[in-house]
Chain A
């Protein structure tokens, strides 16, 4: 397991920005790394109900993995967002991260989940790789985008502040 990207603010910001860009749908992608240099690659969500689900477009995934391999990079994490949801792995996330026999679909690969509320990324959590068995992976890193809790960000970006939808569905 290579978790050094979890300390790389630029990579975490890129993941958070993708989660905001794709709101109100779930954003998704991968993180690849060579040595200590990592980068996030946003990929298309082709699920038929993208507001509550994600499925990475397979051809884009294959091309991204192939290009990364040619650069000597390895897959270290898979990320997705939860619009109006929490930064945690859902039951469906965990089920889909495993093969039917319970073994991990991507051994040694971390999971990243971004909570997005009102089109702003609020929290990002990095989880250990899914292992065989029923236990949930431990969260190894929690990160909040700069000034995420403020009504307007102070990170230099100009943006409209959207009203947070009624949040009766704490997920």
Chain B
């Protein structure tokens, strides 16, 4: 399925300076892996060495957090908009 991936400003410099990317993939993991194939500097910024999504990022399919949809295994519907955001977090520690 072809989806539109929207990158946050912090990742756009590693993806030709663009926010929107059309990418094909059956699930979110495949989608992001193909995006990283196209822009290799993205790989380490999206994935851990073990292949998991980095914890400081949140990925949403339309208005749903993929953590509630199976994580990287979440299926990508046709023409979906997949948004990547940095998690906004902090605290006293």
Contacts and interface: CB of A to CB of B under 8 A. Distances in A.
User: Is B truly associated with A?
Assistant: yes
A79 to B, nearest CB: 10
A150 B28 CA distance: 53
Contact of A90 (B83, B85, B91): B91
Interface residues of A, number: 36
Contacts of A47: 89, 91
B58 interface: yes
Interface string B1-19: 0000000111000000000
A85 B58 contact: no
A91 B93 CA distance: 7
A51 to B, nearest CB: 9
A97 B90 contact: yes
Range of interface residues on B (Cβ < 8 Å): 20 to 34
Interface stretch (B32-40, B60-68, B70-78): B60-68
Given A58-B60, A58-B65, A62-B63, A107 B10 contact: yes
B60 A28 contact: no
Contacts of B8: 105-106
Given A58-B85, A59-B65, A61-B88, A52 B56 contact: no
The 6 closest A-B pairs by CB, nearest first: A53-B91, A93-B90, A105-B86, A56-B88, A55-B89, A58-B58
A163 to B, nearest CB: 21
A18 interface: no
Given A63-B63, A104-B10, A54 B89 contact: yes
